[in-house]
Amino acid sequence: MRVVRTIADLRALLRPLREEGKRIGFVPTMGFLHDGHATLIRQSAARCDATVVSIFVNPTQFGLSEDLASYPRDLERDQNICLEADASVLFLPEAAEIYPTGFQTHIEPGRLADPLCGRFRPGHFRGVATVVAKLFNMVQPDLAFFGQKDFQQTVVIRRMARDLNLPVDVVVVPTVREADGLALSSRNTYLDEDARRRALLLSEGLLAAKAAFEAGERLGTRLLEIARAPMAGVDSIQYLELVDSQSLEPIQGPVDRTAALCVAAYVGSTRLIDNVLLTPPVAAAAGSQA
Ligand code: PAF
């Protein structure tokens, strides 16, 4: 695995691969990797000739009161995870490489960035879309891999790639969970034992609603009630919503197309998000896309 820190070195490394017609996969991350990231890297390595992983804690997607300065970092461990998961290139740019002096051009996502997390993190998806577009331009991947846990992010990025004709397939990989259901997240490291127990109530609610859906429950209001019941023990739920998986508009009435049941909550001072997809069998048979 080669480690590069500048865009020039990255391009020099990837140019010959591209000229040989090699398929390049890309996994953008903010580091402090866990098995969810390793799964993305392994999937990329299985489907592509070379896999680039970037680690860049992107300042423009953090709000003023958010955890940019304290965001967890462990480069040595991250490097080992990348190596074991079969990454070919690790790209570790400094902030000045990504945002040089005078930087002033941004990607403004449309209304997909407004609901759910967008309501509570103004400017977040503008920062995500901008850095991902820039990273796509630097790496020029054939395929880029993102985790379903950041569901709204995947929808915003897919839309951006289509709208801007970026020649990349955005692949969304199902959320990796601990054995007890907790969705893997770099922020889980902030949870002490008691907070972790409360965090578990989020996936408990979502998975209960998914089980009810799979047993035939289609009424959105009922599914939300089922999800909300265990979450009463969580400190503060920012939102729990059932939305169309493509438009992110709230589902009124029965779930007759793929829906995303999404939650964001504070457990102590840690903000966590999670979601499950609910796909009616007819939509699944017709290949309904998340
Ligand atoms: O999901 C993340 O880790 C980040 O939002 C991403 C896609 C790497 C952009 O900074």
- Cα of 146 vs centre of ligand 1, distance in Å, is 8
In ligand 1, the atom with minimum distance to the C-alpha of 58 is 10
Query: What pLDDT is stored for residue 14 in this prediction?
Result: 98
The pTM of the full predicted model, rounded to 2 decimals, is: 0.96
Mean pLDDT of 77-106: 98
Q: What are the structural domains of the chain?
A: 2-173 (3.40.50.620), 186-289 (3.30.1300.10)
Query: What pLDDT is stored for residue 240 in this prediction?
Result: 98
Query: What pLDDT is stored for residue 261 in this prediction?
Result: 98
DSSP the chain: -EEE-SHHHHHHHHHHHHHTT--EEEEEE-SS--HHHHHHHHHHHHHSSEEEEEE---GGGS-TTSSTTT----HHHHHHHHHHTT-SEEE---HHHHS-TT--------GGGSSTHHHHSTTHHHHHHHHHHHHHHHH--SEEEEETTSHHHHHHHHHHHHHTT---EEEEEPPPB-TTSPBP-GGGGG--HHHHHHHHHHHHHHHHHHHHHHTT--BHHHHHHHHHHHHTTSSEEEEEEEEETTT-PBPPSB--S-EEEEEEEEETTEEEEEEEEE--HHHHHTT---
Which pLDDT band, with edges at 50, 70 and 90, does 284 fall under? confident
Tell me the pLDDT of the chain averaged across its residues.
96
Per-residue pLDDT reduced to its tens digit, 2-38: 999 999 999 999 999 999 999 999 999 999 999 999 9
Q: Which residues are catalytic?
A: 37
Per-residue pLDDT reduced to its tens digit, 141-185: 999 999 999 999 999 999 999 999 999 999 999 999 999 999 999
Query: What pLDDT is stored for residue 290 in this prediction?
Result: 57
Which of 61, 136, 168 to mutate for ligand 1's pocket (most ligand atoms within 8 Å of CB)?
Answer: 61
In ligand 1, the atom with minimum distance to the C-alpha of 186 is 3
Residue list, ligand 1 pocket, CB within 6 Å: 28-30, 58, 61, 128, 131-132, 150, 153
Q: Give nearest CA residue, ligand 1 atom 3.
A: 29
Query: What pLDDT is stored for residue 244 in this prediction?
Result: 98
Per-residue pLDDT reduced to its tens digit, 213-262: 999 999 999 999 999 999 998 989 999 999 999 999 999 899 999 999 99
